[in-house]
Amino acid sequence: MNNIHKNWKEFIINEAGLNKIRQDMSDYDTAFITAFRGDITDKSVCVYIPPSEEELSERDKMGKRGESNKRNNKELSAFLLSQGYGIKNVQGSYIENFGSIDPEKIPREVKEASFFVANLKDDPHFFEEIINLGKRYCQDSVILVPKGEEGYIYGTNKGKYPGLDQKETVGKFMGGETGEFMSRKGGRPFVMKEDEETKTYEGLPGKQRQAAKLMAQRVDRQINEMHMVYNLNEADLPAYDNNGKVTLYHYAPVEGNEIEVDPAQFGKQRYSRREKERSTYPRSFFYVNLDQAESQVKQGKYLFSLDIPTNKLYSLKSDPDGLMKSIRHPTYGFRNDIEWTELFKAIHEDYLGAYYSTPSMDLVVLFEPVTANKMEKE
């Protein structure tokens, strides 16, 4: 949240919603997040700026932040609902100039719309998704509360506190009688007032579900671009280099000692079907880090590997030939099956494949058929 300060020691919510909040925190992983920003013109601490926001409108430059904040929060809620999470609207606020005796800095309450989010379907990537959203919307931090445990602040931009990817425990949830959700650290309170029942995607009317799905798809594309273009993961291609080569790993339900991995099979497996939405350009998929391999991919399959010269792979993170920069649309960024397809075609002219990251893994795609050998042990 953009205006959280230092730490959260006390959580107080009005009694009408107190038991519901407590029960959700006991039953599910939960989180607090908003897309509101105090100064929408200051992008200096953001880790990602969507192309559509790189040049603000004149209304934004004049301080008309309300429309942008409402639009961003609408997108955020659509994405959260589309993931199967339950959300509750809460009114957040913090006291600007709290404790000041300076007549020119009179304490005042600044309000922002926030969401209490419950991981109703036990998504194992819940906290990862919340962190990605905090980065997408340039929040100082988000609040993450593991089921039945103490919550913590997680930094999601390059601001001074808590710092990007830094976290600090905020203590156990506590109820109270004041009707407020308050934190005090350094003399500044943060207040949240519950005002609605929990919303779910299934509970939306049909047209609202369709609109939410479209908005969620846009946010999902932005998060993927954030990781692929802006190098949020630490490891770039050289981290996987071993004497001029990179070892690639591929799982397949084949008992033989070797297999041909052919891009002509692109789109026939579940993962590549999802990736086909990004681009229909044929390619095969390989892990470079087995610790990131999903259990559902490994189950019932054998592991194969091969070595590829590092200089035959194009890193989207370092973008050595400037292809990402030249192809990226100035307004829409990388659209599915438009700029992404143009990019893969351009890379294929001089390289065998490309290296990039998704929010959950580093991977390599190859544009040519290759032979991989079965590994004795993983």
Alpha-carbon distance values, 213 to 33, 52, 53, 299 (Å): 20, 20, 21, 30
Taking residues 135-164, report their average pLDDT: 88
Contact between 152 and 143 (Cβ < 8 Å)? yes
pLDDT at position 234: 55
85-136: pLDDT as tens digits? 999 887 765 544 445 566 665 655 556 788 999 999 998 889 989 999 999 9
Q: Is the model's pLDDT at 290 over the cut of 90?
A: yes
Taking residues 166-173, report their average pLDDT: 76
pLDDT at position 150: 85
Residues 242-273 as b/e (b if ≥16 CB within 10 A, e otherwise) read eeebbbbbbbbeeeeeebebebeebeeeeebe
Looking at per-residue pLDDT, the higher value among 61 and 35 belongs to 35
Write down the number of H helices and E strands in the chain. Answer: 10, 17
Contact between 352 and 328 (Cβ < 8 Å)? no
For residue 16, count other CB atoms closer than 10 A to its CB.
10
Q: Is the model's pLDDT at 310 over the cut of 60?
A: yes
* Beta carbons within 8 Å of 317's beta carbon, 6+ residues apart: 228, 231, 236, 237, 355, 356, 357
- Output the six-digit token pair for 107: 């304490």
Contact between 356 and 363 (Cβ < 8 Å)? yes
Cα(107)–Cα(37) distance, integer angstroms: 19
Band (pLDDT 50/70/90 cuts) for residue 179 is very low
Taking residues 311-316, report their average pLDDT: 96
* Beta carbons within 8 Å of 5's beta carbon, 6+ residues apart: 94, 161, 183, 185, 186, 188, 190
Band (pLDDT 50/70/90 cuts) for residue 349 is very high
Name the pTM for this structure. Answer: 0.65
Q: Is the model's pLDDT at 285 over the cut of 80?
A: yes
Taking residues 313-340, report their average pLDDT: 90
Q: Is the model's pLDDT at 60 over the cut of 60?
A: no
pLDDT at position 31: 93
Give the residue carrying structure tokens 């370092």. 318
Q: Is the model's pLDDT at 196 over the cut of 90?
A: no
214-237: pLDDT as tens digits? 898 888 888 877 876 665 555 789
pLDDT at position 98: 47
